[in-house]
């Protein structure tokens, strides 16, 4: 049985799914040792690894490089990789690039950002048996201004569109659905009515699993460092300070 099918079976028995981003072997090995189910090689690497303002300039080669690093650190966990911006504009390009990630055994799941404009691509990949994580709601690859960083599905019409997209993808066989920044009651309704597990980030509790960016958990995400004085960051600070003290 594939690792993905095993996880889906466990989900049906009530397991909640944990998904954390990883970009290298040490971190993925560490996260696997703690039983994290899915390592996401996300295009958030544009921000947290490359220090850019958006995810827009991440290339497929960069995702492949980091996926190879993460793959070295994991045996049991699922490796999910993003198709980055401009790599799934047409059905054929999407399929060719998804295969680059999945056919070599690099990625167990491929994530793409989906809205009403590219549902045909999602359907095509699903008919081609690409194991797809359907990312809906806030779609960082298409955001062009700060106002795009908000909760989605607050108005009736936006909520209906998102709900319909999620149900359509579920019925088309998407094995996992990821909701980013979707209004919490809508997110719960989507999770309740989908067969597939629905995992979320910034979409409230009560879903089938949660997603986190590792540097956010550590409190040291690029561009957000000053905002975070979490206990996690304090204990990391202490380690660095002690390391420096030992030099004196
Ligand atoms: O790239 C990423 O890390 C993501 C998560 C924020 C869901 O897509």
For the Cβ of 170 lying below 6 angstroms from any atom of ligand 1, the answer is no
Work out the pLDDT band at 244, boundaries 50, 70, 90. confident
Instruction: State the distance from the centre of ligand 1 to the C-alpha of 133, rounded, in angstroms.
Output: 11
Distance 155 CA to ligand 1 centre (A): 24
What spatial distance separates the first Cα and last Cα of the chain, rounded to whole Å? 55
190 C-beta closer than 6 A to ligand 1: no
206 C-alpha to ligand 1 centroid (Å): 19
Please indicate whether residue 85, judged by its CB atom, sits closer than 6 Å to ligand 1: no
Tell me the percentage of the chain whose pLDDT exceeds 70: 98
Percent of the chain with pLDDT over 90: 85
For the CA of 82, the closest atom of ligand 1 is: 1
Longest Cα–Cα distance of the chain, Å, equals 62
What confidence score (pLDDT) does residue 223 get?
Answer: 78
Pocket residue to mutate for ligand 1, from 18, 20, 21, most atoms within 8 A of Cβ: 21
Residue 22: which residues within 8 A CB-CB, separation 6 or more?
28, 31, 39, 40, 41, 70, 73, 214
| pLDDT higher than threshold 60 for residue 226 | no
Atom in ligand 1 nearest the alpha carbon of residue 44: 1
- In whole angstroms, give the CA distance from residue 155 to residue 103: 40
- Per-residue pLDDT tens digits for 61-120: 999 999 999 999 999 999 999 999 999 999 999 999 999 999 889 999 999 999 999 999
Please tell me the least confidently modeled range out of 60-64, 121-125, 220-224.
Answer: 220-224
Report whether pLDDT(228) > 60: no
User: Hey, which residues are catalytic here?
Assistant: 180
Q: Residue range 235-239: average pLDDT?
A: 83
Which pLDDT belongs to residue 234?
Answer: 78
Closest CA to 48 of 139, 113, 140: 140
**From the CB of 113, is ligand 1 less than 6 Å away?**
no
Q: Which amino acid residue places its CA nearest to atom 4 of ligand 1?
A: 42
Q: Mean pLDDT for the chain?
A: 95
| Alpha carbons 115 and 40: distance in angstroms, whole number | 20
Number of other CB atoms surrounding residue 238 within 10 Å: 10
Predicted confidence (pLDDT) per residue in 123-166, tens digit:
999 999 999 999 999 999 999 998 999 999 999 999 999 999 99
Task: Note the helical H segments in the chain.
Answer: 3-12, 25-33, 45-48, 60-73, 91-102, 119-127, 156-171, 184-193, 214-218, 231-247
Q: Which atom of ligand 1 is nearest to the CA of 43?
A: 1
C-alpha 15/C-alpha 121 separation (Å) is: 30
Candidates 156, 183, 154, 177; CA nearest to 165 is 177
pTM value is 0.95
């Amino acid at each position: 049985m594939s690792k993905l099918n095993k996880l889906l079976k466990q989900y049906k028995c009530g397991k909640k799914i944990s998904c954390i981003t990883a970009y290298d072997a040490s971190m993925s090995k560490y996260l696997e040792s703690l039983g994290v189910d899915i390592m996401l090689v996300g295009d958030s690497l544009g921000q947290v690894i490359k220090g850019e303002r958006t995810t827009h300039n991440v290339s497929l080669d960069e995702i492949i490089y980091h996926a190879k690093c993460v793959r070295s650190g994991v045996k049991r966990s699922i490796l999910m990789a993003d198709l980055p911006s401009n790599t799934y504009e047409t059905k054929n390009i999407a399929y060719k690039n998804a295969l680059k990630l999945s056919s070599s055994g690099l990625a167990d799941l491929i994530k793409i950002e989906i809205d009403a404009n590219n549902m045909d691509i999602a359907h095509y990949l699903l008919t081609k048996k690409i194991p797809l994580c359907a990312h809906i709601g806030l779609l960082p690859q298409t955001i062009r201004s700060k106002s795009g960083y908000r909760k989605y599905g607050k108005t009736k019409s936006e909520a209906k569109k998102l709900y319909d997209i999620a149900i359509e993808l579920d019925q088309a066989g998407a094995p996992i659905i990821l909701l980013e920044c979707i209004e919490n009651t809508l997110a719960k309704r989507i999770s309740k009515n989908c067969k597939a597990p629905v995992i979320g980030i910034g979409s409230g509790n009560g879903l089938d699993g949660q997603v986190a960016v590792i540097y956010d958990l550590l409190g040291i995400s690029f561009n957000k460092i000053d905002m975070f004085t979490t206990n996690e960051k304090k204990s990391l600070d202490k380690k660095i300070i002690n390391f420096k003290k030992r030099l004196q």
